[in-house]
Structure 1
Amino acid sequence: MSIFKKRFILPALSVLMAMGSSCKKELRDTGKIYEKPLIVRDPAVRSLTPEESMETMHLPEGYRVELVASEPMIHEPVAIAWGPNQELYVAEMLTYMQDIDGTNENEPWSRISVLEDLDGDGEMDKSTVFIDSLILPRILLPLDDRVIVGQTYDRSLYSYRDTDGDKRADEKILILKDTVRDNANLEHQSANMMWSIDNWLYVSRNSFRYRFTRGKMEIDTLRDAPVGQWGLTEDENGQLFYSSAGGEVPALGFQQHPTYGNLEMPGKWEEGFEKVWPIIGTPDVQGGNKRLREDGTLNHFTASCGQSIFLGDQLPAYGDLFIPEPVGRLVRRAKVEHINGKTVLRNPYGETEFLASTDANFRPVESKTGPDGCLYIVDMYRGIIQEGNWVRKGSFLRPVVERKGFDKHIGKGRIYRIVHESGKPSRPERLLGRTSEELLSYLGHPNAWYRKTAQRLLVLRKDIAVVGELKDMVQGEEAFYKSWFNDTDLALGRLHALWTLEGMDAIDETLVLSALADEDARVRRAALRISERFLEVSNKEVFAAVSQLKTDSDKEVLVQLLLSLRSSPIGEAKTMMQQVVSGNAENEALTVIGEEGIKDVPLEIETLKKKYILERPELRNSVVNGYGHFKTICAACHGPNGEGIKNTAPRLVGSSRVKGSIDVPLRIVLNGLTGPVDGIKYAGVMAGMKGNDDQWIADVLTYVRTELNDTNRITERDVKRVREEVKDREAYWTLEELTGGK
């Protein structure tokens, strides 16, 4: 018996035996939905107990909701994450909109707590403040016994650790230093850092990713990552899913990995997917009456956030995307379907939602797969959900908040889990104290929480003693160990073993060649991504093996082949890409992705640099920086090229207001804009951005005016002048005030 068989199979067998029959039971979803209650157009707003609130929640047949934690154990929860020893960390924004004006919102009074379930019944028994005195924590990522934390306005990142076992952090280490304060609105900053299967750490917005190496963060740039907001998730293969509340886009960025740039395709979801179906009237929607049906319910996603691909083993929903919508008091379940290489989302319940509540204070803001194999929902439970920039005097929302008394409902919060009658929440196991050899047996676990946690721990340890066994897992004798794992997905074990070796810097040519020939398409796709390091240096053996996949029967493998071939500098790579495209002329995804890869076009940012260094060198830095700001903030509403988005925001290209007197766009950016534009009433208002410094505003407007409209720049001095002129103004502008309506 080989070392692999001795050390891997037997521990894994014990894990499966400990899991009992739960992983063998077939989970079934009847698909039967609840009967909608009568809609109350203008509901009363009152605080309910957790038990009362749970009675207002409607779920499909077979599902039920259970309470995990609530006030006074937690307050204002916005994010959760489990450590490897089952401790549940909770980020609490204790200063978020505590009154209608957001008074003291930026004070360091928020915290991260750690919850413990002492008796294993699924309900938390103890809460301890892990880190106190934070400013609106927004990044929460457990590593091993360390936790990465990021705060609002602060671009630096720290790791925290409890060294004496009292559940309170007593070690704080700077792992990424950035002294530039982020002055963007708190809804427009990076959040929700995630350790992906490829061992890179991604955030919800900005074209950066990070690698945690030797106790520090290394930064890598992405070509043009999707612009998300609160929430980031991935499927079992590592494909990321973003969402954008500002752009009212429930899901984006899921057609290809952001390392290859952003790609959105028509037909990415079924017709009508963007419509939502609450069971409660929604008077407090920032978009105003345009976003309401005749019965008073929200008609479109607006605050989609905290999404997650469910990868647990105790609900019949594996691989589905769950999208909380706190304004609509609901959670959407989306089936993720792969059709000829294109990913398409659909709502399996038609004009109904997976979870919907008639409690006006129910505010689901995040969802997660738990170690017990169930789905968790974070409920911020409060009246006002919109940040103060959208509730200012002159907004649609302010009189609604005042009339309904939404501002009086603060300081609470709940965490729920969704269970199903055909499954049974498993009792979580602690992984931190496991040996590296023992962790290997979790890489094929039916619950992805264990697979991902075991991989992360192994990568952090870099224990070379298990490298040989990991390679055996990728290249092992499947026929022998299949009988031991008849209820486990062996390919997922090989997939995570492969990425674990990548994270341990133990990838070699032989391993890649083996994985490229794997019988499972998921492993072949991962091998293609990993092969790029060999393609970049024109490795002939790897290129030949990659070439064998050009006739692969799996369309998603072909998509990844086209993406990975972009890494090869040799001419044969583009020839092969053309062959794949030609051989699949009727396939939309392969045609679009292939033709993009074949193009000899520089990246947009490099094009801008070259253009302005040659033509107008004095503008180069301002335009390039402005481009980054525009793509991160403005493009979500005004479109990636400033052409506008129907019903969301007007076009900027060719706009007389943009091209005319600099005072008009400056006033709009500083204080915001409300009311009709060119006779069109858009959903909501444009929020002011005066929280950004003068150079930021000068750069973004310089990009809009010079690159998009071929007119003159705006300087930092211009911004300073206009800022002083309007310093006492808090209300939004209207075009009638600024231009006489023109």
Structure 2
Amino acid sequence: MKKHIWIVCILTAFIMITCQVSRQKTTDNTLRTTDASVAAIPAFTSNPSPEHLTPEQSLKTFKLPKGYHLELVASEPMIHEPVAIAWDGNARMYVAELNTYMQDVEGSNEHAQTSRVMLLEDTNNDGKMDKSSVFIDKMLLPRMLLCVGHELLVNETDTYNIYSYKDTNGDGVADDKRPVYTPNKKAPGNLEHQRSGLDWNLDNYIYTTVDPVRFRYTKGILVPDSIPSGSNGQWGLTHDNFGRLFFSSAGGEVPALGFQINPIYGRMEFNDQYTQQFNEVWPIIKTPDVEGGLKRLRPDTTLNHFTASCGQVIFRGDRLPKDLDGDLLISEPVGRLIRRAKVMDQGGKITLENAYQKEEFIASTDMNFRVVNMYTGPDGCLYLVDMNRGIIQEGNWTGPKSYLRPQIKRLGLDKNIQHGRIYRLVHDGMKPGPKPDLLDASSKKLVSYLNHPNGWWRDNAQKELIIRNDKSVIPALKIMAESQNESVKSTSSLGRLHALWTLEGLGALDSAIVLGGLRDKDPEIRKTAIRLTEDYLKKDDQMIEHLASLKTDGSYDVKMQLILSLSYSKSPKAKGLIDEMLTASNGNEVLARAQKSIDKNEDVKKFGQRLGRLDEVDRKLVLNGAVIYKSLCTACHGVDGKGLQSKTAPPLVGSSRLGKGKDMALRILLHGLSGPIDGQTYPSEMPAMGDNDNEWIASVLSYVRHEFVNAPPIRPAEVKTVREQTAGRKNAWTLSELSGL
């Protein structure tokens, strides 16, 4: 046996070396650059130790591209179980801790109010936090943070409420609390399936995941604005230089989504926005502790695809190699790795590609390396929030019959708790940037920061100016936004973008500034200017003539935004312009999908989210089925599908016979159902409905599946197929017969 293992190891090593040589000979097939190339594939760790490592030991476990290395910013005992961070304008760091998250395999006492928000400071500017205080104590799993001026907005698990906290006496402890958004409703679902984010985007809206809402921070209050087609994602939210949002969904095993258009315009995903190979991940250790078991593992027991994607960030700093700027980084804490994706614009369609060939940007052999969030820092570097723990799955997936529990117990991963690390990624020869002073800077100085090379400074200068509502800077902002102004040639396109949106946030836009933006040489400025016409389009159609000049723009991003924004106009001129563009595009996929997204968005507004997302054909079936059900079926099954107290017929809500496939439900409706049902005998059997035509059958089943089990509709052609298959059937079905099919 041992001899066999040695032979396998030797062959594996030979294959790895051969692959590396082959890879070096074909560098044109990879997106890696010379200064960010991986020197060599590290030795594969087939039997990683689950033992907890000190920060110094952990730093030796990372495999990074040449020139990069990680530095420790903070660790236990200063912090425990960190999940999110936020900096104020002077780079003081707030850290949300989930101190009750999975402290044992049962998830015992998870909802005890003993979590905290810590306040950390680097007093000597060496990159390491040396001062800490408990800013907010006795919390229920705080999950979202956002700094606004001298205040910190915080949302806790299980609630939609958001409160502002402030330290008024400078002791590092919040002593003032006030509500900023309090619907006072309990948030459903376990803590992994609730919202994250509070991302103040370029457009001055604050976005979150999961919930169909975004916010404006107005006069110290979060004012909600509904997103008709809903938000996206799960844990983690980021935006790029142009306000494009990037979500991810661990539960759906989708590493990136929602990045084609702003969710306010609807949903747009392309099947080829990344390849199936992009979903594959490349850990450098075996991964025995994966929810779902062997189907998620390769033969060598490494994780084979994204199962826990989260905490993504578009890097926008200025103190790491330029080729990293604009890349999307996605954490996979189950695989102990971080993906680096190149973000490419192909004719208006955004696509993603792994920056390396069968390798990852960062990977670790530390089994407790669990990055759950990443950020561009004030110093221009990349920050990683590592929970550094054994269990990274919520108790719903570690039950007694799960695949995970015996792996956790065998390895003792449940013992690794109450640790936590914050790292920053630096590069040889590149010094991190200086500490900011945005809270103390004059408004005039903040305007100059809108042109800063680090996206963190630009975002926070814009936010601070809007929070101050200082109108004195409006003339300077208008000059900065004017692309043809000779006095501001040193202003970058990104600086002009931020100037435009800062004017919007201050309520100081005028048509001259917007029209100038429509003529800008930079397509991102033109695209933004189109968005800024939406308030004008809601009122009258005079702006449409100016927008018409962009119908043949050379940028598909611009033309797509034109279609999206024209949806705010009810004028026939707007529809005519859209039709003209679509006709001239000869079926261009991006523009056609933009219009489809808008149409679907309108359907959602009219019919609600669930019904509005259906295709028109399916929606018609459901609506027709609702009429039939309410006139014929409620007498037995009840209006709400829960049955009657007289138990005339079985309930339909949650019925496995409706939701499991389609054939069983079709057979029952066509031929009827007799005998006991789920151990209950009913006074009469379900009668056959096969005398009705296929569309009638499809309509009724489409409605009850949609309404009572959240299953997709059934088309008449599917009814026809089953009707033909069961043409000789004369008697009602029994459950035993159906279960044997």
Q: How does 1:121-132 map to 2 (within 5 A)?
A: 121-132=126-137
Note the 1:78-477 alignment, pairs <5 A: 78-316=83-321, 317-475=324-482
1:512 aligns with 2:514: yes
Question: How far is the alpha carbon of 1:287 from its aligned partner?
Answer: 2.0
CA drift of 1:587 comes to 3.3
Secondary structure of the 1:67 match is: strand
Partner AA of 2:539 in structure 1? V
Show CA shifts across 1:19-45 (max 9, x none): xxxxxxxx9852311422333334221
Instruction: Give SS of 2:540's match.
Output: coil
User: Does the aligned pair in 1 maintain the 2:266–2:597 contact within 8 Å?
Assistant: no
Residue 43 and residue 422 in structure 1: after superposition, are their counterparts in 2 closer, same or farther (change >3 A)? same
CA contact (8 A) 2:89 2:438 kept: yes
Moved more, 651-660 or 575-584: 651-660
In the alignment, structure 1 residue 585 sits paired with structure 2 residue 586: yes
| Unmatched 5+ stretches in structure 1 | 1-26, 620-641, 643-649, 668-698, 712-735
Report the counterpart of residue 662 of structure 2 in structure 1: 654
Question: What residue in structure 2 maps to residue 572 of structure 1?
Answer: 573
Q: Cα–Cα, structure 1 residues 206 and 656, in superposed 2: closer, same or farther, change >3 Å?
A: farther
Shift of 1:476: 6.1
SS in 1 for 2:310: coil
Contact 1:578 1:594 in 2 (8 A): no
Could you say if the C-alpha distance between residues 50 and 706 of structure 1 is closer, same or farther in structure 2, counting changes exceeding 3 Å? closer
Tell me how large the CA RMSD over aligned residues is.
Answer: 3.1
Distance 2:711 2:298 in 1: 40
| Contact 2:135 2:173 survives alignment (8 Å) | yes
Give matches, 1:527-676, under 5 Å: 527-540=529-542, 542-585=543-586, 587-597=588-598, 602-603=603-604, 606=607, 608=611, 654=662, 656=664
Whichever residue aligns with residue 497 of structure 1, its letter is: A
Instruction: Rate the CA distance shift 1:656–1:245 in 2: closer, same or farther, 3 A.
Output: farther
CA–CA distance in structure 1, aligned partners of residues 39 and 254 of structure 2? 26
Question: Structure 1 residues 192, 598: closer, same or farther in 2, change over 3 A?
Answer: closer
What is the aligned partner in structure 2 of residue 686 from structure 1? none
Instruction: Tell me which amino acid in the other structure corresponds to 1:390.
Output: W
Q: Secondary structure at the match of 2:185?
A: coil
Q: Matches of 1:33 and 1:651 in 2, distance apart?
A: 49
Determine the structure 2 residue equivalent to 1:730: none
Question: Does residue 705 of structure 1 match 2:709?
Answer: yes
Q: Supply the AA of the counterpart residue of 1:568.
A: S
8 Å CA contact 1:654–1:709 kept in 2: the answer is: no
Q: What do residues 379-412 of structure 1 show as CA deviations (whole Å, max 9, x unaligned)?
A: 1000000001100111110111111111010110
Kindly provide the amino acid, as one letter, of the partner of residue 501 in structure 1: L
- Residues 4-63 of structure 1, C-alpha deviations (whole Å, 9 max, x = no match): xxxxxxxxxxxxxxxxxxxxxxx9852311422333334221111111111110001111
The alignment partner of 1:30 has SS state of helix
State the distance in 2 between where 1:283 and 1:360 align: 10
Between 371-380 and 35-44, report the one with greater CA deviation: 35-44
Q: How far 1:438 sits from its partner (Å)? A: 1.2
Distance 2:357 2:247 in 1: 23
Tell me the residue number matched to 1:733: none
Q: Hey, what's the Cα distance between the residues in 1 that align with 2:566 and 2:235?
A: 33
TM-score normalised per structure 2 = 0.79
Residue number in structure 2 paired with 1:720: none
Q: Aligned-pair distance for 1:602? A: 2.6
1:706-721 equivalences under 5 Å are 708=712
Corresponding pairs, count: 623
Aligned AA (2:292): G
Whole-angstrom distance in 1 between the partners of 2:710 and 2:677: 13
SS in 1 for 2:463: helix
CA spacing shift, 1:163–1:44, aligned 2, 3 Å: same
**CA distance 1:97–1:448, shift in 2 (3 Å):** same
Q: Is the 8 A contact 2:517 2:526 kept in 1?
A: yes
CA distance in 2, matches of 1:190, 1:96: 16
How big is the shift at 1:229?
0.6
Amino acid at match of 1:574: K
Corresponding residue to 1:521 among 516, 523, 532: 523
Is 2:479–2:485's contact at 8 Å kept on the other side of the alignment?
Answer: no
The whole-number CA distance in structure 2 between the counterparts of 1:517 and 1:51 is 55
Please point out which of 67, 70, 73 is paired with 1:62: 67
The offset of 1:295, in angstroms, is: 1.2
- SS of structure 2 residue aligned to 1:272: helix
Per-residue deviation, 1:178: 1.9
Partners of 2:165 and 2:602 lie apart in 1 by 44
How big is each residue's C-alpha offset from its partner over 1:517-566, in whole Å with a ceiling of 9 and x where there is no partner? 122111111111111111122241x2111111111111211111111111
Match for residue 79 of structure 2? 74
Q: Which residue identity is paired with 2:531?
A: R
Judged with a 3 Å threshold, the aligned counterparts in structure 2 of structure 1 residues 183 and 598 are, in CA distance, closer, same or farther, namely closer
Q: Please say which structure displays the higher CA radius of gyration.
A: 2
Within 2, Cα distance between the matches of 1:329 and 1:167?
34
* Identity between Structure 1 and Structure 2 (%): 46
* Cα drift, residue 659 of structure 1: 11
**CA–CA distance in structure 2, aligned partners of residues 116 and 478 of structure 1:** 41
**Alpha-carbon spacing, 1:563–1:458, altered in 2? closer, same or farther (3 Å):** same
User: 2:69·2:427 contact (CA, 8 Å) conserved in 1?
Assistant: yes
Closer/same/farther in 2, CA of residues 655 and 195 from structure 1, 3 Å limit: farther
- Does the aligned pair in 2 maintain the 1:585–1:591 contact within 8 Å? no
Q: Which has the higher contact order (CA 8 A, sep 6+)?
A: 1
Does the Cα contact within 8 Å between 2:155 and 2:161 map onto a contact in 1?
Answer: yes
